[in-house]
């Protein structure tokens, strides 16, 4: 096993260094959360769900834009509403939970690496996780996946820590209970997948080892009680208040989503392969290490931990690959396992210098971004503002320079046998580079956000002015207006809520026209094609905002 030179090891043992490293990581990780407008659709949807809880005071029945919405459990909505209540309603608080969840995921991976293989491995695991593209990206975008990823990571880490040799029965029991509690958090974050993944992995590991000992040590009675005490109350309460919840949530949103094309999110069997290769950057070239044979001298519990990690990563990848509903973020829970597997492999590197060539792959990609970014305008669809493209290009260029500078320093440190320091600098350089690139997307993303148009509309309406979304709907519109809008001739994911409460929407354009004409004051959001139709009908309206796809009108 490779041991770093004394100077590097001494630096890493300085008492102030690790706290400083964690504080710097937290600062870099959290500060950019409020630097971009929320985007349609996911970010607007989940921000609006939290906002509806805060505005309505109903913490049991989720509503999206005022309509019943039972696609996912309520934990993230509660956390988002609490953040809005305590810190105000803005982009930072809207993304705060995914950001914190991602950061805590990184910390959990570092802590687990430390407890399994020592302090040096803990720092390396932390660095690998903090620099992993898919963990960074999903933590700085408002969806449910970062929260689910955190709780599943806690399940994985607790199972690993419970299986260590030399721990007391009490410590083993506490880690198992932590796994059960985290599983409940995963279920409250996104549903039954929070149970399916851990249970599927347990079965695979036991079959692989031809030993059911891991299953027997899970303390099923007490663990199940902990799980139910945390997860069950909300499901019971929401079902009592809404009899249609159980069928829609469990059948339509789980089994139908997974087994059929009802959500129209199908993809090829290899859909997640390029996402895995991109998402693991800058560590992608380490993937072949996972296929290498482990030293025969490793203790049996060490082999069990590695099998658990491999089974976890493999199960997540295969489980979602065969699903009929695919989204890029679904495979996020496999990356913590990959980070720990790569950390374990690095313990057997004979020479840090031999790792220099691994910098080539991410360096070449960032170099390509640097060289090709001036040509971005040619790749964009017609009509995109040149300023937005220029800002995106500049972000890619700055990100590329940051990473290439970090890669150069890491190259030198690897030559000095300072492996841990090299990993840390690569991780921080890639983290900063990705965040800079994400921030530069904001101007381009304005076409997918209601932030700009809401600034125009809000001074023109009062609290009692009806606002309509006609034949289209931007998920960020209620968030930026701070109020719900009335849907007109728009269904999509609101089908369930509209059927349950038909009085809350207007099903046809013909029904909307007399409603608009009868109102003394009103406002409406619509696509340009709808605007033309209504103008041809002679509806009294004044255009106050228009871009290349949509318009906002007011009356009078």
In the predicted structure, residue 174 carries a pLDDT above the cut 90: yes
Q: Which of 472, 487, 485, 470 is nearest to 541 (CA)?
A: 470
Which sequence spans correspond to the domains of the chain?
1-34+351-446, 70-282+289-348, 450-555
The per-residue pLDDT for 297 is: 52
3-state secondary structure of 251: helix
The per-residue pLDDT for 11 is 45
Phi first, then psi, for residue 264 (nearest 5°) are 55, 50
Residue 103: pLDDT band by 50, 70, 90 thresholds?
A: very high
Q: Where are the alpha helices (DSSP H) in 57-192?
A: 75-87, 91-117, 119-130, 133-139, 145-162, 169-190
pLDDT score at 8: 46
Rg (CA), the chain: 25
Q: Report the pLDDT value the prediction gives residue 263, as an integer from 0 to 100.
A: 64
The pTM score is: 0.94
Contact 124, 423 (CB under 8 A): yes
Quick one: pLDDT at residue 176?
Answer: 97
Q: What percent of the chain has pLDDT over 70?
A: 94
| Average pLDDT of span 487-492 | 97
Q: What is the pLDDT of residue 291?
A: 80
Whether 189 contacts 208, CB under 8 Å: no
- Specify the pLDDT at position 194: 97
Rounded-to-integer distance, Cα 364 and Cα 1, Å: 30
Q: Tell me: the pLDDT tens digits for 528-540?
A: 999 999 999 999 9
Of 82, 88, 74, the residue nearest 34 (C-alpha): 88
Q: At what angle do helices 91-117 and 75-87 cross, to 10 degrees?
A: 120
Six token digits for residue 329: 């973020």
What pLDDT is attached to residue 53? 97
pLDDT of residue 267: 84
Task: Please name the residue ranges forming H helices in 290-380.
Answer: 300-321, 335-346, 360-372, 376-379
């Amino acid at each position: 096993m490779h041991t770093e030179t004394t100077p590097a090891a001494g630096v890493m043992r300085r008492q102030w260094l690790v706290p400083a490293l964690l504080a710097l990581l937290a600062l870099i990780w959290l500060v950019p959360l409020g630097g971009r407008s929320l985007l349609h659709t996911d970010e607007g949807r989940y921000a609006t769900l939290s906002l509806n809880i805060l505005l309505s005071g109903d913490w049991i029945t989720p509503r999206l834009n005022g309509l019943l919405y039972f696609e996912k459990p309520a934990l993230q909505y509660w956390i988002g509403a609490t953040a809005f209540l305590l810190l105000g309603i803005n982009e930072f608080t809207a993304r705060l939970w995914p950001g914190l969840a991602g950061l805590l995921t990184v910390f959990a991976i570092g802590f687990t690496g430390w407890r399994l293989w020592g302090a040096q491995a803990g720092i390396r695991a932390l660095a690998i996780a903090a620099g992993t593209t898919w963990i960074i990206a999903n933590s700085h975008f408002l969806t449910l996946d970062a929260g689910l990823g955190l709780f599943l990571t806690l399940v994985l880490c607790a199972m690993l820590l419970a299986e260590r040799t030399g721990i007391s029965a009490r410590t083993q029991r506490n880690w198992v209970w932590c796994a059960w509690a985290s599983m409940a958090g995963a279920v409250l974050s996104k549903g039954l997948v929070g149970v399916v993944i851990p249970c599927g992995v347990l079965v695979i590991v036991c079959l692989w080892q031809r030993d059911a000992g891991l299953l027997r040590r899970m303390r099923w009675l007490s663990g199940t009680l902990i799980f139910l005490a945390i997860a069950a109350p909300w499901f019971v309460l929401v079902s009592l208040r809404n009899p249609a919840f159980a069928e829609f949530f469990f059948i339509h949103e789980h089994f139908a989503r997974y087994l059929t094309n009802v959500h129209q999110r199908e993809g090829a069997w290899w859909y997640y392969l390029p996402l895995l290769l991109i998402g693991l950057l800058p560590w992608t070239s380490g993937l072949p290490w996972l296929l290498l044979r482990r030293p025969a001298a490793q203790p049996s519990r060490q082999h069990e931990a590695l099998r658990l990690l491999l089974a976890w990563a493999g199960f997540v990848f295969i489980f979602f690959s065969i699903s009929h509903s695919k989204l890029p973020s679904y495979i996020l829970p496999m990356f913590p396992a990959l980070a720990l597997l790569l950390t374990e492999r690095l313990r057997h590197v004979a020479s840090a210098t031999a790792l220099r060539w691994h910098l080539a792959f991410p360096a070449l990609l960032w170099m390509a971004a640097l060289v090709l970014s001036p040509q971005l305008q040619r790749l964009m669809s017609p009509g995109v503002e040149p300023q937005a493209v220029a800002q995106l290009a500049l972000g890619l260029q700055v990100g590329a320079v940051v990473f290439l500078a970090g890669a150069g320093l890491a190259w030198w440190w690897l030559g000095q046998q300072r492996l841990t320091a090299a990993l840390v600098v690569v991780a921080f350089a890639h983290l900063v580079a990705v965040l800079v690139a994400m921030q530069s997307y904001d101007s381009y993303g304005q076409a997918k956000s209601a932030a700009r148009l809401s600034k125009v509309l809000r001074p023109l309406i009062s609290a009692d002015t009806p606002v309509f979304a006609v034949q289209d709907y931007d998920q960020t519109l209620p968030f930026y207006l701070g109020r719900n809008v009335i849907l007109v001739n728009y269904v999509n994911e609101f089908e369930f809520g509209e059927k349950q409460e038909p009085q809350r929407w207007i099903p046809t354009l013909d029904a909307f026209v007399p409603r608009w004409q009868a109102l003394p004051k009103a406002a409406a959001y619509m696509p340009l094609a709808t605007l033309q139709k209504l103008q041809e009908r002679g509806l009294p309206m004044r255009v106050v905002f228009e871009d290349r796809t949509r318009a906002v009108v007011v009356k009078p």
